[in-house]
Amino acid sequence: MEAQEAMAVKIGLALGSGGARGWSHIGVLRALHEIGVVPDIVCGTSMGALVGGAYVSGALDELEGFARGLSQLAVARMIDLNLTSGGLIEGQAIAEALRELGFAESFAETEKPFIAVASDLYAGCEVWLREGDLVGAIRASIGIPGILSPIWKDGRWLMDGGMSNPIPVSACRALGADVIIAVNPNSKLYAPRRGVPETPHPPDYGLENVLAALPPPLRPVAERYLAATARPTPRPPAYLDVLSAAIDVMTDQIRRSRLAGDPPNVMIDVDLVGLNALDFASADHAIRKGAEALHDKASLIERLL
């Protein structure tokens, strides 16, 4: 029996960043348990750290209920604006909500070894958080640049871990995982272009007054001419859309580079194209897609174990 236990395969789960797409990690964890696979080690970046932290705290049920019940209004109520904090949102309300869900007080109280990955704002490197206040570490890991303020911890300003290690395979390996299952909530974001959103609108040349001043017989002619020559232009994207897309581009490039040198044994690619990374009120869809993506790789996982 002791020899069998010594030979047991140690499973590591690396949960990647992705903003609201990271709710898909809940579905992945549910599906893993359905096929009888229980990870021994969990490491997470950004939303991967948040969901992973709930899992190792024994609070996944509470987090799932919270996520599925979120509305846009509920999200808005957790926005504590502070433009002097290094971001738009200070994030204290978010941290308090996590504590109320039953997250462990510290890493020492988690059910499994766990690392939350953050990024050092000034040193430009990843930081593995694995001791002390668990929720504080998760809050540092989810510090989306330009939105959530960075966190001062152990003499460093820490921000989102996705800026340095979007899918923490290396952290799982460092904790001794033999087989690593990695989850990428941002799969297919940059597949062949889907095109610019079709929301064109006629350019505003401010000619209404000119048309009104024309003699009545000439107005129909002028309107037809302008309609034939005006070129509709796409509506400019909103500020948060630009910020979300910029972060997606950066983390996608970092992810490709990191995984090329340190690939997992199994990659779970969750197709959430069309879900904005800031749409936290769409948990139902993300969780379902996460479960589907895991089941697609279930036979491979079972063969490896």
Catalytic residues: 46, 160
> Cβ distance 25 to 46 under 8 Å?
no
Rounded to whole angstroms, the Cα distance separating 251 from 240 reads 16
> Cβ distance 114 to 42 under 8 Å?
yes
**DSSP alpha helix (H) spans, the chain:** 2-6, 24-34, 47-56, 60-68, 72-77, 92-100, 134-141, 169-174, 208-213, 219-229, 239-261, 283-296, 298-304
Residue 13 per-residue DSSP state: E
Sequence-distant (6+) residues with CB within 8 A of 214 are: 222
> Cβ distance 101 to 78 under 8 Å?
no
Sequence-distant (6+) residues with CB within 8 A of 165 are: 45, 117, 119, 126, 171, 254, 258
- Reported in sequence order, the residue ranges of the chain that DSSP labels E, i.e. its strands, are 11-15, 41-45, 114-120, 126-129, 151-153, 156-160, 179-187, 200-201, 233-234, 266-271
| Dihedral angle over CA of 157, 162, 167, 173, nearest 10 | -20
Rounded to whole angstroms, the Cα distance separating 260 from 51 reads 25
**DSSP alpha helix (H) spans, 133-199:** 134-141, 169-174
3-state secondary structure of 156: strand
